[in-house]
Amino acid sequence: MDYRYTPEQEAFRQGFSSWVDKNLPEGFDPTKRRNFNTSEDLLAAYKAFQKRLYEAGYTALHYPKEYGGQGKTMVEEAIVTQTISEKCMELRQIGVITFGMAVPTIYTCGTEEQKQEYLPKIMDGTHLWCQGFSEPEAGSDIANVSTMAIKEGDHYVVNGQKVWTSMAHMADYCILLVRTDPETTKHRGLSYLLLDIKSPGVDVRPMKQMTGESEFTEVFMDNVKVPVENLVGKEGEGWMIAITTLMFERVLGDVTMATAYEKTIKNLISMAQNVKRSGRPVIENPLFRQKLAQHYIEIMVLKYHGLRNFGKTIKGGVPGPEGSIGKLLWSEPNQRITNNAIMMQGPLGQITEGSPWAIDEGAWQYGFLRSKGNTIEAGSSEIQRNIIGERVLGLPKDASRAAIKK
Ligand SMILES: Cc1cc2nc3c(=O)[nH]c(=O)nc-3n(C[C@H](O)[C@H](O)[C@H](O)COP(=O)(O)OP(=O)(O)OC[C@H]3O[C@@H](n4cnc5c(N)ncnc54)[C@H](O)[C@@H]3O)c2cc1C
């Protein structure tokens, strides 16, 4: 299969690339890790940029026009996403759950009313979404969800707690996994709701991460009323819809992450050219040169795996469990890349953002700490390997959870 763009697609790429250069927020520096000091500033910049993308016809290109899309193909959408990953990932990153999970789930499983109501307001940047699946007792074992939603007349009354909910403090809505039937077996008692996160009874508490940032939160729900028309699919179908959502989340990484990490490797090479150890540039050290080559190989594997899986998704519509391979191919190499960046810096590797001695303003130290979450978020590495074992290779089912619980 030839993965090069056709002349028309290349012209589209070039047109969009120069559009981005002209439409970035004033003073935005694509070489900096962080252009916004507060989550409020970042959210405002995200919404304004998303609105500009929408008005210029560059958002959700493969969705139909009646839902705020452009009625084009997924190839144009991939070109837009890759270009954004390369030039201004910071501006799009907070929209990853919105576009990678909420949009495809509402589009694939939602009612006509839900599509009309929610999709256009996502496309034009009005609403940001978050994902409320994980709970203190339900992470890898998501079927353990215990947040209860009891139907009372024309609404559900929701009580419970979510945890690690990324960006809930910035979001307008939440895709929420709840238990509607405590009597049936774990999977079958789950349902999938669309929650207005500003509803009375919702308490969002940001949590501090080891990077010093508060990217994720705890969400407490105390007698929160959710209209019955916000149920996605039928009551009790939440498990299958959640699996669909997670598969979209995983395939999303493949095509865009490779672009982002190609840029990271270029930055790493540039850092290795500038930083000296024992009076010589690190790039001359044979050990680090070997590692740089290995990082590049791993990112190329991710890129071509992503393209192959993307090609399959274009033909089949819904991504398959092979997305788990892509998740491992970006999360684990990113930990090796950032670890190596710190090693290259020698004693200066301990100096973080804020010090005049920090190399590249401490971006590598931040990346090193943040990368630890990569092998946990969106399903841990062990869970991805279980999925590949069972659903791709056809191995016997993982019995460890059952054994632990006995
Ligand atoms: C940065 C970040 C952002 C996140 N954002 C969100 C979000 O927006 N929304 C959301 O709902 N969740 C979010 N999460 C939560 C994430 O999905 C969970 O942390 C993850 O699914 C693991 O669940 P857990 O933390 O409960 O760990 P556990 O499930 O308790 O796992 C603990 C350890 O046991 C291993 N393990 C568990 N079961 C098995 C098994 N069967 N076989 C082998 N090993 C096993 C795991 O791999 C892990 O190493 C986020 C997490 C992080 C780190």
Residue 1 confidence (pLDDT):
67
Concerning whether 26 is annotated as a catalytic residue, the answer is no
Within 6 A (CB) of ligand 1 lie: 130-134, 139-140, 164-166, 216, 373, 376-377, 379-380, 382-383, 386, 398, 400-401
190 neighbors 178 (Cβ within 8 angstroms): yes
Enter the tokens of residue 166.
Answer: 């990324």
Helix (H) or strand (E) holding 43: helix 39-55
Strand stretches in 25-172, DSSP E? 129-132, 148-152, 155-166
Q: Which atom of ligand 1 is nearest to the CA of 162?
A: 11
State the CATH class of domain 130-236.
Answer: mainly beta
272 neighbors 344 (Cβ within 8 angstroms): yes
- Which whole-number Å values give the CA distances from 332 to 118, 253, 324, 357, in the listed order? 35, 13, 12, 28
**Domains 130-236 and 241-405 in one fold:** no
Q: What is the dihedral of CA 122, 253, 191, 197, to 10 degrees?
A: -40
Measured CA to CA, the distance from residue 43 to residue 127 in angstroms comes to 10
CATH superfamily entry for domain 241-405: Butyryl-CoA Dehydrogenase, subunit A, domain 3 (1.20.140.10)
CB-side exposure of 162: number of CA atoms within 13 Å?
A: 29
Residue 302 confidence (pLDDT):
94
Query: The whole model's pTM is what?
Result: 0.94
Instruction: For tokens 């791709």, name the residue.
Output: 392
CATH number of 7-127: 1.10.540.10
Domain boundaries, the chain: 7-127, 130-236, 241-405
Residue 100 confidence (pLDDT):
87
| Residue 160: how many other CB atoms lie within 10 Å | 20
Residue 365 confidence (pLDDT):
97
Residue 406 confidence (pLDDT):
36
| Active-site entry in 76, 77, 135, 249 | 249
Average pLDDT per 10 consecutive residues for the chain, totaling 406 residues: 86 97 92 88 96 94 90 87 90 90 92 97 97 96 94 98 98 98 88 98 97 95 98 95 72 77 95 95 97 97 88 71 88 97 97 95 96 95 94 86 45
96 neighbors 128 (Cβ within 8 angstroms): no
Instruction: For tokens 């999925």, name the residue.
Output: 387
Residue 125 confidence (pLDDT):
96
Measured CA to CA, the distance from residue 250 to residue 254 in angstroms comes to 7
Residue 404 confidence (pLDDT):
42
| Residue 316: how many other CB atoms lie within 10 Å | 9
Residue 148 confidence (pLDDT):
97
57 neighbors 70 (Cβ within 8 angstroms): yes
Name the DSSP letter for residue 124. Answer: T
Choosing from 376, 381, 386, 391 the residue with most ligand 1 atoms within 8 A of its CB, the one to mutate for a pocket test is 376
Choosing from 163, 176, 374, 380 the residue with most ligand 1 atoms within 8 A of its CB, the one to mutate for a pocket test is 380
Residue 255 confidence (pLDDT):
77
Measured CA to CA, the distance from residue 189 to residue 182 in angstroms comes to 6
